[in-house]
């Protein structure tokens, strides 16, 4: 029997899972899967560790309206039936918000869950689903050790100026701070960066996590110095459906003059803005890149313009930049977006090798570039598996 760790990343409409051996060394998944379309038309897919799709015909037919609470037991049963020779010894979860003090993962207890519940208003689109998955696993497998890994933890190394807003001190003291997110992705990149950059990995690095959610992190000595996301995961870069940085006066105007409720504004800023809102076509970069629509083109241009501005601002935090890393769905796959961002940064000494970029090479800076440019696939699940293993190891 091989001991293994189940990794769960539960979102509003999807649940991603992976199984990793509970063994020493860099975590390599045995199985990865996803239930997409939760709440509308759930679809289950699963791949083996090598990325080959596995048959899933024996996964039970799912009702369209099935929720997370009913899905988790079905999933755990399926995993049990399909993991011959494997015993799941612990579950690790992605949890978006850990609050101002948690600088690393934590074992799940009732007290921890109560603390994390109090943070729901700070991450209303993600935290409730993350916590629901933990509760479902606890209800289905009460003896399984569980670990929560936070997207905010990596940024707790930032100095005070990086974390506070120019608001009355009282509000800062109450925890209205720039928390930052995508920390598990940045932690993975930090862990693997020395393999690409050697001792230069401890230099001034900006990681651009460009997915549906998008943010950037300035890292020095492989630690977070500054980041683009703020109090919530709404701040910073333009995203798939989120607006990113916005004049707060717009929110006041929407309330006072257009009569929108808080709920309506939340939906507008989290669901109807970003690439989706500007293009009026899609939140999906693949669709936008294939489109001839002028608004789709403008959405891509705005995405890149805003990304370049943010990157330059983060470079200021470190007095320059030695390397840029592109990661996540768009960062890893869109040569066009990488090129359009880099073109705006030529004044910083950034010079792309256009051919290497088009080919999707991992090093894409030209010989003349004074800034290294890398493309590295992120792996948040591997970070969660490692953390879960170290927090649940039997002594
Ligand atoms: P999430 O934040 O949901 O984890 P991902 O990191 O999976 O998001 O990124 C999703 C985004 O990546 C989508 O906009 C998708 O269109 C984009 N993407 C994926 N593959 C490509 C590609 N080949 N070219 C351009 N964009 C891509």
The pLDDT of residue 395 is above 60: no
What total of structural domains would you count in the chain? 2
C-beta 285 within 6 A of ligand 1: yes
Three-state SS annotation for 84-140: CCEEEEEEEEEECCCCCCCCCCEECCHHHHHHHHCCHHHCCCCHHHHHHHHHHHHHH
- Residue 136 CB–ligand 1 contact under 6 Å: no
Q: At what angle do helices 68-82 and 127-140 cross, to 10 degrees?
A: 50
Please state which of the ranges 37-41, 161-165, 299-303 shows the lowest mean pLDDT: 37-41
pTM for this model (two decimals): 0.94
CA of 284 to the centre of ligand 1 (A): 7
Flag whether 245 is in a domain.
yes
pLDDT at site 394: 59
SS3 163: helix
- The confidence score (pLDDT) of residue 165 equals 97
Residue 166 lies in a domain: no
Asked whether residue 103 is domain-assigned, the answer is yes
Measure 328 CA to ligand 1 centroid, in angstroms: 7
Residues 199 and 337 in one domain: yes
Is 106 inside a domain boundary? Answer: yes
CATH code of the domain in which 9 resides: 3.30.420.40
* Residue 333 to residue 344: CA distance in whole angstroms: 19
151 is catalytic: yes
331 lines ligand 1 (CB under 6 A): no
Q: What is the chain's mean pLDDT, rounded? A: 94
Q: What is the pLDDT of residues 45-83, one digit of tens each?
A: 998 888 888 877 778 888 888 888 888 889 988 888 887
Rounded to the nearest angstrom, the distance between the alpha carbon of 286 and the centre of ligand 1 is: 7
Instruction: Tell me the per-residue pLDDT of 301-323, one tens digit each, with 9 for 90 and over.
Output: 999 999 999 999 999 999 999 99
**Residue 214 within a domain:** yes
Distance 391 CA to ligand 1 centre (A): 32
Ligand 1 within 6 A of 240 CB?
yes
164 domain residue, yes or no: no
> What range does the domain containing 308 cover?
194-375
- Choosing from 95, 117, 150, the residue where a domain stops is 150
- How would you classify residue 283: left for phi > 0, otherwise alpha for psi between -120 and 50, otherwise beta? alpha
Atom of ligand 1 nearest to the CA of 240: 14
Task: Tell me which residue has tokens 């992605």.
Answer: 94
Atom of ligand 1 nearest to the CA of 328: 6
Catalytic residue among 22, 151, 235, 351: 151
In the three-class reduction of DSSP (H, G, I as helix; E, B as strand; rest coil), residue 56 is classed as coil
């Amino acid at each position: 029997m091989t001991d293994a760790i189940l990794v769960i990343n539960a979102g509003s409409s999807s649940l991603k899972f992976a199984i990793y051996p509970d063994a020493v060394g860099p975590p390599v998944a045995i199985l990865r899967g996803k239930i997409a379309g939760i709440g509308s038309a759930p679809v289950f897919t699963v791949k083996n560790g090598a990325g080959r799709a596995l048959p899933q015909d024996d996964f039970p037919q799912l009702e369209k309206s099935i929720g997370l609470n009913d899905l988790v037991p079905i999933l755990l049963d399926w995993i049990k039936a399909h993991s011959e020779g494997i015993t799941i010894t612990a579950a690790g979860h992605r949890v978006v918000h850990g609050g101002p003090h948690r600088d690393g993962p934590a074992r799940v207890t009732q007290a921890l869950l109560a603390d994390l519940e109090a943070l729901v208003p700070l991450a209303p689109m993600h935290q409730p689903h993350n916590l629901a998955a933990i509760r479902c696993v606890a209800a289905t497998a009460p003896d399984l050790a569980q670990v929560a890994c936070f997207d905010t933890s990596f940024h707790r190394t930032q100095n005070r100026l990086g974390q506070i807003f120019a608001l009355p001190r009282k509000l800062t003291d109450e925890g209205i701070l720039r928390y930052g997110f995508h920390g598990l992705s940045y932690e993975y990149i930090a862990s693997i960066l020395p393999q690409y950059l050697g001792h230069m990995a401890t230099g001034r690095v900006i990681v651009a996590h460009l997915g549906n959610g998008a943010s950037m992190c300035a890292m020095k000595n492989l630690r977070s110095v500054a980041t683009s996301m703020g109090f919530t995961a709404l701040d910073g870069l333009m995203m798939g459906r989120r607006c990113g940085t916005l004049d707060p006066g717009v929110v006041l105007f929407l309330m006072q003059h257009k009569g929108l409720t808080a709920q309506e504004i939340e939906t507008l800023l989290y669901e109807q803005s970003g690439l989706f809102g500007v293009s009026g076509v899609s939140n999906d970069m693949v669709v936008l890149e294939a489109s001839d629509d002028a608004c789709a083109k403008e959405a891509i241009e705005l995405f890149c313009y805003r990304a370049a501005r943010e990157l330059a601002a983060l470079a200021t935090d470190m007095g320059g930049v030695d390397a840029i890393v592109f990661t996540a769905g768009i960062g890893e796959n869109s040569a066009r977006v990488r090129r359009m961002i880099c073109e705006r940064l030529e004044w910083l000494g950034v010079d792309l090798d256009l051919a290497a970029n088009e080919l999707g090479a991992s090093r894409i800076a030209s010989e003349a570039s004074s800034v290294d440019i890398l493309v590295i696939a992120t792996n948040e699940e591997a970070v969660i598996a490692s953390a879960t293993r170290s927090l649940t190891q039997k002594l």
